[in-house]
Each structure stands twice: as structure tokens, then as C-alpha cells.
Chain A
């Protein structure tokens, strides 16, 4: 097989697959659109105005001064992250400064956020990701995937959704799934001519659909996240109803699959339209070139085998986490499993990476640290709990409230609440007991409200700060905060509709929700 010469204006396959040119640690310069310029221009004073109003108003009853300051600071940051008058990492630094200067949270705790497990997991994730890139494993897997499914953007995107569906029950850590598939996404995006400097709608769909898939498929399995298990614990201890793995999966996996099918359909057609001309890999020679490239890679090299072994070790530890205590006498957290893999990868002679190979986007770590500091200050100051309390108080469910009205409001509040939390666990701890309390107060079966509410826990798709995989994928620079918000808001709304439809049909058939 031979490769064809690149046509005019098209990069050669070798250029496209040179991932050194797509270093995540380098912030790509972008040309903002007209809308983005206006948003940036107005976003700065809008953020300041929101901060000023919220900070200077009288402290509401039930809220601490620290909570008020945290809400005001977070509002400013949220507006700036979305409108981007300054880069997102600068907003994070500004937020951390504001939190200290307004006495919202203590300096040592804010600075300590950079040492949280989520930041460490991100660092380890990017080093592990470098293994796939350095050894050409990412290129090989992406080429396999593209040769089989890549003749059209639709099938390529669908293939990634199926990969995420397959991984969800195996690897509970969502960040781990993001790490494993990120290099593949980068290679595929590159072949479709989408990069951080020049993101295309294919790139936006690819990254955001993976973000949706990683999170939404977690909601299909009881072990999809620790927060799911926590919710099940609350339903048992506070509501007296045991939820089994099969109960959860049978009820909500279909909802997750339908949601992702809709996401796959709506993204390229309505949100980020992919022109027919961009729906095929833009390569001189087309798919044949990819087949030729795959052929040139030949058999697995020694380094590739080494990379597979290291990844296999880490994935093995991720997959078998429930057996660790039995085997080792202690549990191995996903971050420590990743760190073990990184130690091996860097080990002289045994490993295959040097520090210079590690492509760690520190601007993302700063962005993450600020986002987490903002979210944690809302939690620690009691502001998040206060907001939730006020929302439920405002709903004022009467003793004779209609179940379906309560159901719709509970699902909507739980779903949209993720915009104000950076921790699924904290959100679960605050929201689910509230929902159980409402069900008990109104005389509804606890499971009829609490379990559907628990199904919303993993729908953390609205913003890059909403979940760990969101942060990881945001580093690719292939979409903006606004892009994420658009797709995320649409899909959370679709999720509410799906859970309502499921509530009156499928959940009712399963005996979760009551009859009419």
C-alpha cells in the first residue's frame, strides 16, 4: 500500500497524527466570534455587578456572611467562565483571591485545594495519557476505530458513544474513562481537521458527546459513581427500601441509552451542525490513507506492549476496586492506582516516559483548583444547603399536593442543581435526604421520588466545572464553556423530560412510581 500525496490545502496524514503539535499544556490562540467578543465585553461588568449586588445586600436569614461572600464570588466566576472576558484560569485565580479577600473561606483551605485528589488524578491522568501518545498506541487504536467506523462523522461519533457505554459498568471512576479515551479523541479530531487552535463542529460534537456519554452512562449503573451508592444508602436507611443493582440498571439504563441516542442525533444536526463536506475525514486519499497508515504501523512494538501492560495494571486496579480490601487489606483509590502506573511508566529502563514527555496542562489545574475552591466554599459555608432549602421552601408543597407535580419539580430541581455544585457526593448528601423528607411528609412511597431523583445525580454535564471528566476534556480546547453550557442545558432538559416520561410509563410498570 502507498500513501497518496496531500492535496492542496489538506495536511498530510503524518502531519495530522503528529500529536506533539497538539500539546495540551500549550494554550492555543483562538479567534473569537462576534458573539464571543460581545459576551466577553459585557461579561466583565456583568460579573462585577452580580458580585456587588450579592455581596452588598443584607445577609439573608439563615445564611452566614461567609456563605453570602461565597455565593457572590461564585456568581462572578460563573459569569466570567461563561463569557470569558479573561481566560478561564485567570477567572479561577480571581475567584480564589476573592474568596480570601471577602472572608468566604480561609486561605490555607483555598490553597490546599490544589492538593485535592481530583487535581492529583488529573495530573496522573495526563501522564498516563502521554503513554498512549508516546507509544503510538493512541494512533493505532484511533486508526482501527476510524477504518472500521470512520467513513462518516455520524458513525465515528456513535462508535465513541458505544465505547463509553461498554466502559461505564467496568470502570466506575468517570475521570479514568475520560483519561483512557482522551488520546483517541485527540487523534480522531485531528484526522477530522479539528484542533485547539481551529476547533470545528466535529471536534465540539466529539468532545461533548464523550463528556455526555461518560457522565450519563454512569447513571445507568448503581456502581456508576460513589454518589449513586450513597443515594441508595439513604433510601435504605432513611426510607427503608433496598435498591438492588438490577433494579437500578433495569430502570435507568434505558433512559440513559435513549438520552445518548438523542444527544448523538441532536448535536451534529441542530447544536453544532456538521456540514456534509466536514462529515468525512478530510484526508488526501480518504479512508484508504488511514488503512495504509495502519498497515505501516506494523506489529505491536515492544514499547507499545509495555504501554499496554502499564495501562492494563491501572485498569485492573480500577475495575477490581471492590475486591481490594479482601486482597490487600486496604482499598486502592483510583488516584493511587493511576499513580502506581505513573511510577512504573517513569521508572528508568522499566518504564517508557521521561518527564519531558508528560504533557500536563497546568492552566487546567489552576482552573480546576479555582472551580473546586468556589464549589467547596459554597458547601463548607452552608450556602449550597441554604439555596437548596430555599428552593424547596419556595415550592411549598401542600399536604394534598399531586404526586406528579411534586415528581416533576423534584426531578427538575435535582437535575438543574448540578449547575451550583462541583461535587456529586455533596449534592447527593444535601438533596436526597430532602427528597426523602418530602416523600415522607406528603405520604408518597420514598422510592417513588428518591430513586428517580437519584437517577439525576450523574447528569453533571452543564459546565466544565461540574465534574472531573468535564475538566479533563475541557483541556482539549476544542469547545468553549458556552458550548458546554448549550449542550449540557439542552440535554439536562431532555433528561428531565425523559425521566418524566419514564415516570409515567416505565417506572410505573416497574412499580417505582404509583399509578394514577
Chain B
């Protein structure tokens, strides 16, 4: 479950953290058919940011980590709350706003892909991004891109919750590079806030027998019920 519920953990330095605001955190998780995934995250940092940015893409689970967007930024492993996280250390306070890009692989992201699916070939996946730092995130977005050939069956739950009277939906079924995806968005996410979505998805298999069956059924009806439109009956 841990793999399906990775957390984002921003641990700002004490003191300045309370006032910190991060305009945007946007991650895209590219899920593969074998359950592995590649994650790409973009973090908008305001000018003057100098504290380490720590993300919980659990260091133990994350491989092939690369960082770009801010020259000289480097990754380090830190422990917090009994777990290890990736900490991005900035060389100097930022002179202007910048976008930090983090990429890595998650070999155990959705191990359930290896097990038998549920009814109708569905699998249920929950993605939850939790903000545990005092910094407020202006817009928090998580997009899960399904393997090629897979479709979203239904959205089961979300946080923010989309009630029956909601005029807008926090989630969207979108397309990314020709692949079906689910995107969840939350705004002004403070400490303890989260963006989460639970959805079912399945492999789209071209129906070959169904069109044939429908044709046969139609033909059988047209023959069996032709008396409905026989001339003698119509003139009766």
C-alpha cells in the first residue's frame, strides 16, 4: 500500500517555515504495465528560497534520482519521522523564482499490477499526496498516467471531495501523450492537507465477439419479427 500511497513531505527549516508558501507542486506518475513507475515532479520555488526542500519519494523506494532546474542543487538522504526522504539542498538563496524538477523511478509503485485483476479486469489505485510541512502549497497537482492500452473505469473517491452538488470536480480524466490519465488538484494545501484520488482502471480490450453477437441478434429479430411489417398485416 505504501507504494500506492507515496507522500510528499516538505520539511522547511524551523522559524522561517511558518511563513513559507510554495506556489506549485505538480507531479506526474507514469505507471508501467508491470507496476513500476517513473515520477516527474515540478516544484515552483519563490525568490529567496534557501532552505532544503525535502520530498518523501521514499529514498528507499526511489532509484535513478535526477534533479534539474536549479544550478548546483544536490540530493541528500535525510531521516524524518522514522523514514528516509530525499532532501534537495540549494547552493544559495534563489535570486528569482525557479522551477525545480525531480525525476526518479519507483520500482514498487503498484505491485498489485502483478496480481489477478478484480471483476471486469479492473484494478483499484489510490494516489495520495500529503503535505506535512507548515508551508502552504498554492496548487498541488498529481497526475497518474496509465500504461498504454489502459483506460480509467471510474473515479471512486477524491480529496478534495466532489459531492453531488459540487459545481467543479477536483479530478479530471485527461490524456497525456496519448495515454489515459487521472489528475487530482487541490488548492492552498496547508499542513496536513492532501490531494488524493482513488480510481479503477482496466486494460481496454477490443471487443470482437460483441459486434458479431449484436449483428446476429439483429438479424434474428428482423427475420423472426418480419410479420410485424408484412403487407397483409399493415393493411389490416
Contact = CB atoms under 8 A, between A and B. Distances in A.
Interface of B is mostly: mixed
Interface in B153-167: 153-155, 164-167
B222 A64 contact: no
Interface in A39-96: 40-41, 44-45, 48-49, 51-52, 55-56, 58-59, 61-67, 85
A234 interface: yes
A306 interface: no
Contacts, number: 84
Contact of B173 (A63, A85, A433): A63
Interface in B166-195: 166-169, 172-175, 180
Assign chain A's interface to a size class: 20 to 34
Contact of A433 (B152, B155, B167): B167
B197 to A, nearest CB: 13
Contacts of B165: 230, 429
Interface stretch (B28-36, B88-96, B108-116, B226-234): B226-234
A61 B154 contact: no
Interface in A221-250: 230, 234, 238
Contact of B207 (A34, A37, A55, A103): A55
B175 A61 contact: yes
A66 B120 CA distance: 11
Given A41-B228, A44-B225, A45-B222, A52 B152 contact: no
Interface stretch (B8-16, B48-56, B213-221): B213-221
A80 to B, nearest CB: 12
Nearest to A47: B218
A48 B214 contact: yes
A429 B204 contact: no
Interface of A is mostly: helix
A55 B210 contact: yes
B151 interface: yes
A45 B154 contact: no
Contact of A62 (B175, B202, B206, B233): B175
A381 B169 CA distance: 12
A103 B153 contact: yes
Interface of A: 34, 37-38, 40-41, 44-45, 48-49, 51-52, 55-56, 58-59, 61-67, 85, 103, 230, 234, 238, 381-382, 385, 426, 429, 433
Interface of B: 119-120, 122, 151-155, 164-169, 172-175, 180, 202, 204, 206-207, 210-211, 214, 217-218, 221-222, 225-226, 228-229, 233-234
11 contacts: A37-B233, A41-B226, A48-B217, A52-B210, A52-B211, A55-B210, A56-B207, A61-B175, A62-B173, A63-B173, A65-B151
